[in-house]
Chain A
Amino acid sequence: MRLLVVEDDPGIQQFLKRALFEAGYQVDVASDATTAETLALEGVHDAFIIDLGLPDMDGLDLIARCRSQGILAPVLILSARRSVDERVRGLEQGGDDYLTKPFALAELLARLRNLLRRAATPQADSATKLSVGDLQLDLIRRDARRGDRTLQLTPQEFSLLEYLCRNAGRVVTRTMILDHVWRMRIDPQTNVVDVHIYRLRSKVDHESAKPLIHTIRGVGYVLKDS
């Protein structure tokens, strides 16, 4: 997988390059729209990460120019504006995605994976069963088992566990959980999400030698069989 990162801030450019490289991607970088356009027209990239505030051109115009020249790889837009304007929302409906700065790396990676997966297989994820270690989720009957023990979960806890399982092995942030499980782009200043996780953990990892749900302080949570 080869990515093009278009970002004028050297700090962000550097850490994105490193983080994406460590996540297993090949990364090209550009600091301005002109260079980016030249690189993009090579047609070798699977996805773009484009900052809206570029020195020589608006990021949205760059996207429009690439699109008009047949470059159809998905775009993850980075924006410093909190209130996202109509044009970005329009792009979101067109299959691209956006993130507002500052973002958690974990979230950027998750959104990028989503974009690449959707670009590869347009159909929705059709798995009906998920399993991590001895944890099994039946998405149709909506029940969860740990070993031979059935977990008594509320519908909300099930959705949360399902989201963690779908991202098994990868860190999810509180913002991502709120976005995907509660469908809200909010940022509470209280520990509301943590309480949900504690409750879920007390059911999933109860009396179990091998805990599955782990807290990564400062980042979020990960469900993994380690």
Chain B
Amino acid sequence: MSSKTVSTLRSTAAWRMSAKTTIAFAVGSAIAFAIMYMMAAREVQRRSDAWLSGEAGVLSDISLKTPRDALNDRIVEEVAELASREVPGELNIKGRQVNTVFFLVTGKDIPPIFVGTGSREDVLSALNAVQFEPGVPQSVHIAGWKKPFRVVYHPRGSDGGTYLGFADIDAARMLRRLTIGFVLVWCGMVMLGFLISFGGAYRTLMRVERITEAVDRIGSEDLASRLPVSNSSDEIARLSATFNRMLARIEASVKQLRLITDSVAHDMKSPVTSIRGSLEIALSDGQDGRWREPVANAIESLDGLLRMLNTTLDLAEAEAGALRVQKEPLDLSELMQQLTDLYHPAMAEHRQELSLKLESQVIVDADPVLLNRALVNLLDNELTHLPTGSSITISVQVVGNAAQVLIKDNGPGFPAELRDRVFDRFVKGAHSKGHGLGLAFVNAVAQAHGGNVSIADVTTGGAEISLKLPMAPVLTA
């Protein structure tokens, strides 16, 4: 698996979900082990302490009863026997360090007798540092030994005592083996658990992903298509079913909207057409000049009203994703060249300087009528909102895998209060003569083609508007 695949996997929800459950599982099982470990260690110590206390009592008795001259031999004998006897829980493994015992007898009447491994001085100094209670095992650290000794003290006479020390190395070893075993099993379990939960979550979420892809594919063009529904009735199958119901509702409302807009368009346009036609007849056959002016004004106002009605209906359709887009391959540069040929004299009339930077063969898949109207809106904007003497630069270029129309000017820029909503309907500057639908329409057309439009203020003053459309797939000859 390449690092890229891993980083892709790591960005999935499946990864996050299974990582969380795995961490919870790992921490939980580690805590459970720690508790078990502590209980086991305590039990082992309790048993070995019980044994130790018994033996210490016996040895203390012996040291009291045995005559002083025979004491040394007797104690060596006893300890040797003790060491050879099996202690509870001990496993005799050849070649290993086994449990370690020492016995120390002190008193005024005798020199200290020490039997066992290690040096007597180390043991003596360690024991002197500890306060003992008779018969109760205590942990004592002795220099040179990793494991503390459990030591039981019995008083002997007025100023002496017997000490029996025992380091249960075997129990420690058992506990270490237990720990190692657990860590290995724990690692395996955590990894296996992660793989299983990741696999499960991944498979489940891939079904969600497939739904996402399918919904994404079902654009405005094919609202009639539906997601595949599996036979199971789990959450994800229900999600598909819910999406399908939603799609059905959207399809119904888009149909309804088309019906309404078409009927509104029809109902309003027919009377307007007949009014306009009658006015035109009046205009063409009248010889009397007195009412020519008001009739011409009426026609011009009607045309303005109709333009607004048309754009409003277009926008209503576009916002519902119901814009009818009939795509064909178009050369965006060629289109822009034709449009600027059309606009150039009007711009020159406003003493606006126009420069073009057109890359050749910028082919997009677009509806020619919609795209033309969108571009006309942009050019109309420049023409009406720029003061005379401004300069405009229009570029058509390929940026990444998108075709871009970039229109820059050195005019006043967009009014600050409009900047965030220039693409909303009916948003326009205080002095604008337009109806505030132009840029909203451009935005709708861009989105219907899978593109986008954005504005920016140029640092050197002026505004910049960028329309991006996806490039048409390259045709190989």
Q: Which residues of A contact B (CB under 8 A)?
A: 9, 11-12, 14-16, 18-19, 22, 53, 80-83, 85-86, 89, 101-106, 156, 171, 178, 182-193, 195-196, 199, 216-219
Cross-chain contact B277 with A80 (CB below 8 angstroms): no
Residue on B nearest A192 in the bound complex, by CB: B346
CA distance A131 to B163 in the complex (A): 138
**B310 at interface (Cβ–Cβ under 8 A)?**
yes
A19, B341: Cβ atoms closer than 8 Å: no
Q: Is the beta-carbon distance between A218 and B274 smaller than 8 angstroms?
A: no
Question: Is B474 engaged at the interface, CB distance under 8 Å to the other chain?
Answer: no
Q: Are A102 and B297 interface neighbours, CB within 8 A?
A: no
Whether A189 contacts B310 by the Cβ 8 Å rule is: no
**Contact status B338-A15, CB under 8 Å:** no
- Count residues on chain B whose CB falls below 8 Å from chain A CBs: 55
Q: Which of B265, B269, B275, B278 has the most CB of A within 10 A?
A: B269
What are the 10 A-B residue pairs with the smallest beta carbon separation, nearest first? A11-B274, A218-B296, A218-B299, A217-B296, A80-B266, A15-B277, A102-B273, A9-B270, A195-B346, A101-B269
Q: Give B contacts to A, CB under 8 Å.
A: 262, 265-266, 269-281, 283-285, 292-293, 295-300, 302, 306-307, 310, 313-314, 317, 323-324, 326, 338-339, 341-343, 345-346, 349, 369, 372-373, 376, 379-380, 383-384, 434, 438
Contact A189 B380, beta carbon cutoff 8 Å: yes
A54 to B342, alpha carbons, bound, how many Å?
Answer: 38
A12 contacts B380, CB within 8 Å?
no
Closest to B265 in A: A80
Interface centre among B281, B293, B324, B342 (most CB of A within 10 A): B342
- Collect the chain A residues with CB atoms within 8 Å of residue B293's CB: 217
Q: How far does the alpha carbon of A216 sit from the alpha carbon of B292 in the complex, in Å?
A: 10
Say whether, besides A80-B262, A104-B276, A218-B296, A192 and B342 are in contact (CB < 8 Å).
yes
Partner of A218, one of B278, B300, B349, B373: B300
**Is B277 in contact with A217, judged by CB distance below 8 angstroms?**
no
Closest chain A residue to B341, Cβ basis: A156
Asked if A218 contacts B279 (CB within 8 A), the reply is yes
Q: How far is the CB of A161 from chain B (nearest CB, A)?
A: 14
Q: When chains A and B are docked, how far (Å) is the Cα of A188 from the Cα of B307?
A: 9
Q: Are B313 and A82 in contact (CB under 8 A)?
A: yes
Q: Are B275 and A11 in contact (CB under 8 A)?
A: yes
